[in-house]
Amino acid sequence: MKGLYRYPEDYALRSASELDLALSAVPAYRDWRAVDPGPQAPLDERCAALPLLNKAHLRAHGLEAFLAPGHALAEGLARGAIDTVSTSGTTDEQMVLTWNQAWWNASEAASWTLNRHAAQAGLADHAEALLTSPLSTGVPSPDGKPLAMLRRRLGRFLYLNEHLDSAAWPDTHIRRMVRELDAFRPVVLEGSPTLLARFARRSVELGLRCWQPRLIVTSYEFPSRVLLRQVRRAFDAPIMSSYGCTEAGCVLTQCEAGCFHQNAAFARVEFQPLAARFGKPGVGRIALTSFGNPWRVLLRFDVGDLVRLRPPETPCACGRTDGIVADAVEGRVNDVTFDARGQLVTVDELDRRASGVNDVLEYQVTQNATDSWTACAVCGRDGAIAELAAALGDLYGGRVAVALVAAIPAEVSGKHRLARCAASFSEAMFEGPMRAP
Ligand SMILES: [Zn+2]
C-alpha cells in the first residue's frame, strides 16, 4: 500500500483524548505511562510505544480498573446506566464485561450509515429478530423445553432460538420460527451465519415461505460463503456483515458494495501486517481503541482477528472515504492453518476454496500436525465430498481426508469454527509496527 487512509476531521483529536484519559486516570493503564513518550510526541509515535491490551489483561484487571474518573460500577449498575454480561466460551475465554446499552446503540446507529440498505431501512426503534445460540445473546431454555414467544421478547427484539444445539432442531422448531417471523414481522433479521443457514435450508426443504425482512445482518461468526448462499435461497433481503465485539462495539460494517468500512466515530483501528514471508501484503491483525465509553476505556485491544486492507489508492465503489477500508475480515488469528510449505491459510482463503464446491453445506478443517489435515462436511449431493477433498488437498498440498457428517458441532461458546489449529498463534507471525494505516 502506498497511500494512507483518510479519517474524519476530529479523529486524531478523539484518539488523543482517549489516550490521554486512559493514561492519566484509568487504573488499568497505570503501567503504560512509563513508556508513553508524552503528549508533545506525535500521536502515532505515542501509540506505537504502548503495549497491546488483550482478553487476559481485561480479565486480570477486572471491570473497575477500566472505568473513567467519576464512574463507579456499583452506582452505574444500581441506577441502570450499565449492566454486566458474560461472554460465553471455555474457562479460558469466558469473561464478564460491563454493558453500556446507550453507547452500544449509538455505535450501532453510526454503523448503519455505512451501508445503503441499512440507512434506507430507517432503522432506529425497528423490530428485530435474532437467530443465534442463546450463549451468544438471548434467552436460553433452562430445561431444554421450548419457551413461549413472550418469554423471548425483550424490548424491540425477538430471540427466535432458545436451544443450545441447533443441529438437533426438530421441524416443529423450524415451523415455529417461520410462524413467529410472520407474526413479528421484523425489519431486520440478525443472526449467526450457521444458524441462519440451518434455518433457511430446512425451511426451504419443508416448502415454507419466510417473512422477508428489509435487511439480514450476520454477526458472531465468520460469514462463510457456503452458509450465505443457503440463506439467500430463503431470503431476498440484502445481507450485511457486521464486525464488532462486546468490548469495542460495532467496528467494521460491510457496505452495499461488499467492502468493510471503519465506524470511525466510535473506534480507532490500528493494523499490524503479517510477516512478509507469508506473502500476503495487506493482511494483518487489528487493535481497537473505542471512543466515548466511560464504563470501559479500551485502548489498543488486540481482538484476535485478521483483516485484508483495501489499498487506499483503490477506493471502494460505494464512495465512502472515511477510515480504513477492508476487502475482507479474514477470520480469527487462532483459526489460521498452514499448508505443506508452511504458508499461512486464513479462514477467508479456506472458505473461498471450499465454497468453490457446489452443495457443500457445512465444513470444518482441522490441522493435526504440520503435514496432516482432516475435515468433516455436510453435503447435499453425492460426489461433493470427493470434490471437497480434492479442493482442500490442492489448497494444502497434501491429502485431506474428509468425513461426511450430519452436522458440524458448535464450540463450547455456541459458535462454529471453519478451521481449527491449536498451535497456530504466534507473535512471530506478525512484523512491523502496529499503527493506524
Ligand atoms: Zn464501500
108 phi and psi angles, rounded to 5 deg: -65, -45
Q: d(Cα 129, Cα 149) in Å, to the nearest integer?
A: 12
Report the Cα 173 to chain-centroid distance in Å: 26
Q: Distance, CA 324 to ligand 1 centroid (Å)?
A: 10
Q: What is the pLDDT of residue 91?
A: 64
CATH class of 338-420: alpha beta
Q: Distance, CA 321 to ligand 1 centroid (Å)?
A: 8
Q: Distance, CA 110 to ligand 1 centroid (Å)?
A: 15
Q: Which fold has domain 11-330?
A: Rossmann fold (3.40.50)
Q: Distance, CA 251 to ligand 1 centroid (Å)?
A: 14
201 in Cβ contact with 232 (< 8 Å)? no
130 in Cβ contact with 137 (< 8 Å)? yes
Q: Distance, CA 246 to ligand 1 centroid (Å)?
A: 24
Q: Distance, CA 263 to ligand 1 centroid (Å)?
A: 12
Cell of 404: 461426511
Q: Which amino acid is at 227?
A: L
Q: What is the pLDDT along the chain (437 residues), one digit of tens a residue?
A: 556 899 999 999 999 999 999 999 999 999 999 999 999 999 999 999 999 999 999 999 999 999 999 999 999 999 999 999 987 766 667 789 999 999 999 999 999 999 999 999 989 889 999 999 998 888 899 898 999 999 999 999 999 999 999 999 999 999 999 999 999 999 999 999 999 999 999 999 999 999 999 999 999 999 999 999 999 999 999 999 999 999 999 999 999 999 999 999 999 999 999 999 999 999 999 999 999 999 999 999 999 999 999 999 999 999 999 999 999 999 999 999 999 999 999 999 999 999 999 999 999 999 999 999 999 999 999 999 999 999 999 999 999 999 999 999 999 889 999 999 867 678 889 998 899 99
Which residues, other chains included, contact 290 with Cβ-Cβ below 8 Å and sequence gap of 6+?
18, 107, 247, 248, 249, 266, 267, 268, 296, 297, 298, 301
Which residues, other chains included, contact 384 with Cβ-Cβ below 8 Å and sequence gap of 6+?
357, 358, 359, 360, 377
β-pair partners for 420:
366
Q: Distance, CA 433 to ligand 1 centroid (Å)?
A: 27
The single-letter DSSP state of residue 410 is P
Q: Distance, CA 116 to ligand 1 centroid (Å)?
A: 9
Report the Cα 246 to chain-centroid distance in Å: 10
Q: Distance, CA 75 to ligand 1 centroid (Å)?
A: 41
Q: What is the pLDDT of residue 89?
A: 65
Q: Considering just the CA atoms, what is the radius of gyration of the chain in Å?
A: 22
Q: What is the pLDDT of residue 2?
A: 55
Q: Distance, CA 315 to ligand 1 centroid (Å)?
A: 8
Q: What is the pLDDT of residue 95?
A: 87
Please, which contacts does 385-391 make with residues 24 or more away whose CB atoms are closer than 8 Å? 387/357, 388/354, 388/357, 388/360, 388/363, 391/353, 391/354, 391/356, 391/357
The single-letter DSSP state of residue 39 is T
Task: Compute the C-alpha angle 242/293/329, nearest 5°.
Answer: 25
Q: Distance, CA 295 to ligand 1 centroid (Å)?
A: 31
β-pair partners for 98:
84
Q: What is the pLDDT of residue 340?
A: 95
Q: Distance, CA 228 to ligand 1 centroid (Å)?
A: 19
Q: What is the pLDDT of residue 94?
A: 78
Q: What is the pLDDT of residue 124?
A: 87
Q: Distance, CA 9 to ligand 1 centroid (Å)?
A: 19
Q: Which amino acid is at 411?
A: E
Structural domain spans, the chain: 11-330, 338-420
Nearest to 134 by CA among 172, 97, 96, 160: 160
Cell of 169: 432442531
Say which residue the cell 493494523 belongs to. 271
Q: Distance, CA 6 to ligand 1 centroid (Å)?
A: 14
Q: d(Cα 231, Cα 356) in Å, to the nearest integer?
A: 17
Q: Distance, CA 260 to ligand 1 centroid (Å)?
A: 7
Q: Distance, CA 143 to ligand 1 centroid (Å)?
A: 45
pTM (two decimals): 0.94
